[in-house]
Chains A and B, each alone.
With several copies, the nearest count.
Chain A
Amino acid sequence: MTSDLYREQLLDHYHNPNNYGVLEGADVDVEWDNPTCGDKIHLTAKLDAEGRVAEVMFEGHGCVVSMASSSMFTERVIGKTPEEVAAMSLDDIQEMLGGIRLSMGRVRCALLPLNALKRGMDAS
């Protein structure tokens, strides 16, 4: 389990995250954190005419799981409707991370970008 978490693919995302930064003129702009461990994310997204996710960027700091999850998430959600985002679950995130089973202590880390986007889309 532990070794799964620190295998090459996740470490690559952690050290060289995709879509790192802040979108100008974003439709969704949300900050979200896990106070238990201090993981923090600032997530911005643009939606297309039908409300689908068109572009996402994130900034933040946290553990390998939360940062790699955020990096991969910015690609995974492209094209999804708000309903599809709302329907995404831990299972989807675990599959996205390469089919790992997260320990209970790591679930919140992995869910950081999803929870942030759900919250941001609710508010927008």
Chain B
Amino acid sequence: MALDVQAIRQDFPIFQREVHGKRLVFLDSAASSQKPQAVIDAMTRIYTHSYANVHRGLYTLADEATTAYEDARGKLARFINAADTAEVILLRNATEGLNLVAYSWGEQNVGAGDRIIITEMEHHANLVPWQQLAQRQGAELAYIPVTEAGELDLDVLPGLLADGRTKVVACSLMSNVVGTLPPVTRVAEMAHAAGAIVVMDGAQAVPHQPVDVQTLGADFMAFSGHKMCGPGIGVLWGRRELLEAMPPFLYGGDMIRTVKKTYAQWNDLPHKFEAGTPPIAEVVGLGAAADYLSALGMDAIHAHEREMTAYALERLAEVDGLHVIGPGADRRGGVAAFWMEAAHPHDIASIVDAEGVCIRAGHHCAQPLHECFNLPATARASFYIYNDEADVDALIAALHKVNRLLQR
């Protein structure tokens, strides 16, 4: 079933506004997506009807809030097909999820002389925590290189894994710049065979394609609510055995079973990793977002974005002096990062903004990846459920204007 983009756009109130008198063409969902009315309403409903702090209240309002909060956790567990709802930890953002693993699992399991393997295409969120962990522990940080085509060069992996010193392999399910979809299941098999655990960054994948943590091969996976039609929160999924063996990360209310003056005992999963008051309405909103996406169908969403991406790559090739980085449309998700001979990425973004087109310019929190391409920055368009070919056409027209203004 193809997506009905016109109908979907009606669900998102922001598309009723214009920018500089032009139709809003939002091509920056890889940074953060827009929100449908159903998600906004779910949060408003909590605040206007059932708000109270969760988990510790015995009155009706608190029970309603707790039930809504835990129901949302259940929805998120089903969304990624987690075997166990208690494996779903609700956090600030994907970044916090990856840091939690690097601190709590990492400091317990990675020691001097051990190796951590990541890839050159990681977002800083799945790079700097490992780099700093390696520094703190005296471990080695090794990179799987990225080829000119923007793919992982897995040839180095067997050699890196051979000595058994590798404790963790961290890899993105999809690059937020080149759009590459690495063969993560194969990476995971190799890593597991060598005794390493596998941490996957699902921030760009979970919003856009079906993800099943039971077949993926990951031991941990983090993703962001705000990139999947939800508010600004994040999720960490992890295998129960690993989560249970880990020490807590943040300490405070709700994550304890008992506190004495000289010691404390920890609460059960998932609460052990959720210290203090959570963003209650936001979690409920993210549950509504999972419902919204599931109703559209993750397969349909993925197919729609593939079509959009193929069309976009075709049309971008028409623009004089424009170069897209990364693999072909059949091997990538819905993002296209590019550079132009005549214009700095900042200028591209500013000039197309005047036409109502929102794209991002910069290193997209992936400086080492940009170094592979010898570019300090790129412009990036990314696609989601509310984009169609007319959006791509608007982008292309605006890019021609960039050339008219800045080519000489």
- Direct contact, A vs B (beta carbon within 8 Å): yes
Q: Which residues of A contact B (CB under 8 A)?
A: 1-3, 5-6, 11, 14-15, 35-40, 61-65, 103-106, 109
Highest count of chain B CB atoms <10 Å: which of A11, A61, A64, A106: A64
Q: Contacts A6-B405, A105-B57, A105-B62 hold; do A65 and B346 have CB atoms under 8 A apart?
A: yes
Which residue of chain A is the closest to B349 with respect to CB atoms? A105
Stretch of B29-37, B101-109, B277-285, B359-367 at the chain-chain interface: B359-367
- Which of A6, A64, A104 touches B344 (beta carbons < 8 Å)? A64
Inter-chain CA distance A5–B346, complex, in Å, is 11
Given A62-B344, A106-B350, A109-B346, the answer on whether A38 and B405 have CB atoms closer than 8 Å is: no
The reply on B375 being an interface residue by CB < 8 A is: yes
Given contacts A5-B350, A104-B63, contact A38 B361 (CB under 8 A): no
Of the candidates A5, A65, A104, the one whose C-beta lies within 8 Å of that of B67 is A104
B70 adjacent to chain A (CB < 8 Å): yes
B219: Cβ under 8 A from any A Cβ: no
Given contacts A2-B354, A3-B354, A37-B362, contact A105 B405 (CB under 8 A): no
Nearest-neighbor residue (CB-CB) of B360 within chain A: A105
Given contacts A35-B258, A38-B377, A63 and B408 within 8 Å (CB-CB): no
Contacts A2-B20, A15-B408, A37-B377 given; 10 further ones with Cβ under 8 A?
A6-B405, A36-B362, A39-B344, A40-B376, A63-B345, A63-B347, A103-B63, A104-B63, A105-B57, A105-B63
Find out whether the CB atom of A2 lies under 8 angstroms from the CB atom of B345: no
- Interface check B305, CB cutoff 8 A: no
List 12 A-B pairs, Cβ < 8 Å: A2-B351, A6-B347, A35-B257, A35-B367, A36-B363, A37-B346, A37-B377, A39-B344, A40-B376, A61-B344, A63-B350, A109-B346
Q: Is the CB of A37 within 8 A of B361?
A: yes
In the bound complex, how far is the Cα of B348 from the Cα of A40, in angstroms?
18
User: How many residues on the B side are at the interface (Cβ–Cβ under 8 A)?
Assistant: 31
Residues in B with CB closer than 8 Å to A11 are 405-406
Type the 1/0 row for B173-215, where 1 means its CB is closer than 8 Å to any CB of A: 0000000000000000000000000000000000000000000
What 1/0 mask marks residues of chain B from 353 to 375 whose CB sits below 8 Å from any chain A CB? 11000000111000100000001
What residues on A are CB-neighbors of B58 within 8 Å? 103, 105-106
Complex: A61 Cα to B351 Cα, angstroms: 18
Name the residue in B63, B257, B367 with the highest tally of chain A Cβ atoms < 10 Å from its Cβ. B63
Cβ-closest chain B residue relative to A36: B362
Nearest-neighbour CB distance to chain A for B59, whole angstroms, equals: 8
Contacts of A15 in B (CB 8 A): 408
Q: Determine whether the beta carbon of B67 is less than 8 Å from that of A6.
A: no
Closest chain B residue to A2, Cβ basis: B354
- A37 near B344 (CB under 8 angstroms)? yes
Which of A3, A38, A106 has the most CB atoms of chain B within a 10 A radius of its CB?
A: A38
The chain B residue with its CB closest to the CB of A1 is: B60
Selected from A2, A36, A64, the residue in CB contact (under 8 A) with B353 is A2
List of A residues within 8 angstroms of B63 by Cβ: 103-105
User: Are the CB atoms of B351 and A6 closer together than 8 Å?
Assistant: yes
B99 CB within 8 Å of chain A: no
Taking CB atoms, residues of chain A closer than 8 Å to B362 are 36-37
For residue B354, which residues in chain A have a CB less than 8 angstroms away from its CB?
2-3
